[in-house]
Amino acid sequence: MEEEKKILQQIENIKKEDPFLDPDHASDNAAVDTDVREQVGHDTVEAQVKDLTKRLQEIKIAMINMEKGNYGTCERCGASIPQTRLELVPEARFCIECERKLRK
C-alpha cells in the first residue's frame, strides 16, 4: 500500500530531526536554554512518531480487513462505510456514526 510507504518515510524523516540524535548532545553540556530547546524538539519528534505509528497500525488493520474481504465494513455495527469516507480516510474502521460514538 502506497500510504504505508509514505508514512514509514515520514517517520524516518522526523526521526532525523530529533536533536537527541546529535552526537554532541550528551557531551556538549550546553546552556540550559539549549537543553530545553532540545528537549522540546525531542518531545515533538516523539509525539509525531507516535501519531504516525498509530496511523500505520490502523492502515495495517485496514489491509488485513481488505484481505479478509471486509474492508469498508464498520467493525462495530457491520454497516458499509461510504466510499467518500474511505477516500478521505482509507484506514477507516468504523462508519461515521460509530466513529462519532466512540470518540465521545
**What is the binding site for Zn ion (CB under 5 A)?**
74, 76-77, 79, 95, 98
Q: How far is the CB of 30 from Zn ion (least distance, A)?
A: 52
Q: How far is the CB of 32 from Zn ion (least distance, A)?
A: 51
Instruction: CB nearer to Zn ion: give 38 or 99.
Output: 99
Q: How far is the CB of 3 from Zn ion (least distance, A)?
A: 22
Instruction: CB nearer to Zn ion: give 14 or 86.
Output: 86
Cα of 7 vs its chain's centroid, Å: 7
Q: How far is the CB of 74 from Zn ion (least distance, A)?
A: 3
- Cβ distance 75 to 93 under 8 Å? yes
Instruction: CB nearer to Zn ion: give 11 or 94.
Output: 94
Instruction: CB nearer to Zn ion: give 6 or 101.
Output: 101
